[in-house]
Structure 1
Amino acid sequence: MEKTVKIDPKNSFYGTGRRKEAIARVWIFPGEGKIKVRSSSGKEWDAKDYFERDILMAKINHPFVVTETLGKFDVYATVKGSGKPAQAEAVMYGIAKALESYNPSLRPALKSAGLMTRDARVKERKKYNQMGARAKYRWSKR
């Protein structure tokens, strides 16, 4: 599937966001606030149709609200891995990094809102001789 958005390094700013297993590559460029998401299937979506829930859209728009740039940038993001809530947080983090590359003076506002710190929590690995990461097999006397 072809990209409908033309990304030009002269007028766009890039940021990578990660959360759990989700990775979002995010480009922002001057516009009227449209958000396009390209999923790993190759299909391009409007963000409202892809993420569906209002709370996820609020997360995605949070960096714009904090920096008072809501409606001034269009967003194009490619997402893969994990589930939609983690992908939405990855897009949020990618937007924050792209806004910082657009204007470094926005960093203090983004940092005080907690948007410049990657959430490093990931699933703990399963250990050998155990059912899962923490759960053990039950001991049986006979």
Structure 2
Amino acid sequence: MKRSVFLAVGAVAGLVPAWAGAVEPRIPSAISQQIACTAPPTPADMLTLLQRSSMIGRRPAMVSDSMSFFKVRKPLTVDGLPVVAVFGFDETGEFPFARGPGTSPGQVFGITTATDSAALERWIRNHPGKFILVDTPSALGAGLTDVYCSRRPGD
């Protein structure tokens, strides 16, 4: 109760953005552009944006094959796909998490979704990028799917 009153009063007073209790309007669009893979992803920038907007925490919920997975803290839908987590790896050195042993996965940014296969197939038809990858089940578990862009500059 106190938090919602502060947000409402703070938004009116200009102390906090009006969207502070919800998803910042530019986030779904930015995520959509990243996973559509029309250009190499910028995972460090995306994860920093999501951390600063309190969409994800500072520590990943899980690290798998060098990918840091962060569960979303607020309801988030990207192009009709319900997002339960975001993940990525950035080999530029700007990413704040160490990678595991083995070959670098390159620049990767993606989402973990709990959508049905029909909705996922629709999304793929609307975003026919050759660098878009889909893994079912997700590294986070059964019933989830990872949709991501893995691309190096120059690809």
One fold, TM greater than 0.5?
A: no
Q: Which has the larger radius of gyration?
A: 1
Higher relative contact order (CA 8 A, sep 6+): 1
Greater share of helix = 1
Q: TM-score, with normalisation over the residues of structure 1?
A: 0.29
Q: TM-score, with normalisation over the residues of structure 2?
A: 0.27
